[in-house]
Structure formats: structure tokens, C-alpha cells
Amino acid sequence: MEYMKMQPVITRQIVLNELVKVGIDKHIADDLSYKYYKNELTYKGIEYLKENFDIKLKHLEEKIFDIKEELINRMDSKLTKFDHKINVVENNLNVNYYYHNCRNFINTDL
């Protein structure tokens, strides 16, 4: 029964769709899918794919890094503002506490 297992069939259209999905121009993807399907994909074609993916990957990594830095800066800014607000509230509470203590002290001495 082992010999009866079917291998998945990869059509030219499947290859074309996958190449387009990863961002390769449709005309180039069509040519590459044809060559792949006919076993005519050359080393130069494979090199083109590698360079294209490497460039796209580099751009993606740069975008991720930029977004990460932007999020870190935003979080730092928000935390600084939050710390400032906490300090203001704490100072107000301290002022009110001392005010009431002084007032109570004055009232008890009179």
C-alpha cells in the first residue's frame, strides 16, 4: 500500500499564485512559474528570487525596527506623563495633609 500514496500535485497556477502572494510582479511571477513548471528554472532565476526576497525581508525588518522604536518612545512618553501626574496628586495630598494638621494644631492650642 505504501507505493499507492499520492504526491501532492503542484500546478503552474499554484506556483504563480504563491509568487504573486509574496509580492513578485505578476509578469515576472508568470515567467518564473512557467519555468518552474517546465523544470527550466535556472540558477539565475533562483538567484533573482533570493535577491528579491532578501530585499523584501530587509525592508520588513527595517519597518519592524522602526515601529518598535516608535512604540518604545510612545510608552516612555506616556510613562513620564503618568509619573508626573502621580507626583502632582501626591504633592496635593501632602499639602492637604499638612494643611489639616497645622489647622488642627492651631485649633487645639487656642
Q: Please tell me whether residues 15 and 50 are part of one structural domain.
A: no
The answer to whether the beta carbons of residues 12 and 37 sit under 8 Å apart is yes
Q: Which domain holds residue 64?
A: 39-109
Q: Please tell me whether residues 59 and 75 are part of one structural domain.
A: yes
CA distance linking residue 45 with residue 32, whole number of Å: 7
Q: pLDDT, tens digit, for every residue of 5-55?
A: 666 677 889 888 988 998 888 998 898 888 887 777 677 777 888 888 888
Q: pLDDT, tens digit, for every residue of 62-77?
A: 999 999 999 999 999 9
Q: Please tell me whether residues 49 and 99 are part of one structural domain.
A: yes
Q: Quick check: helix, strand or coil at residue 35?
A: helix
Question: How many C-beta neighbours within 10 Å does residue 19 have?
Answer: 21
- How many alpha carbons fall within 13 Å on the CB side of residue 32? 22
What pLDDT band is residue 110 in, cutting at 50, 70 and 90?
low
Q: Please tell me whether residues 54 and 34 are part of one structural domain.
A: no
Q: Please tell me whether residues 51 and 96 are part of one structural domain.
A: yes
Q: Please tell me whether residues 81 and 97 are part of one structural domain.
A: yes
What mean pLDDT, rounded, does the chain reach? Answer: 83
* pTM passes above 0.75: no
Per the structure, the count of domains in the chain is: 2
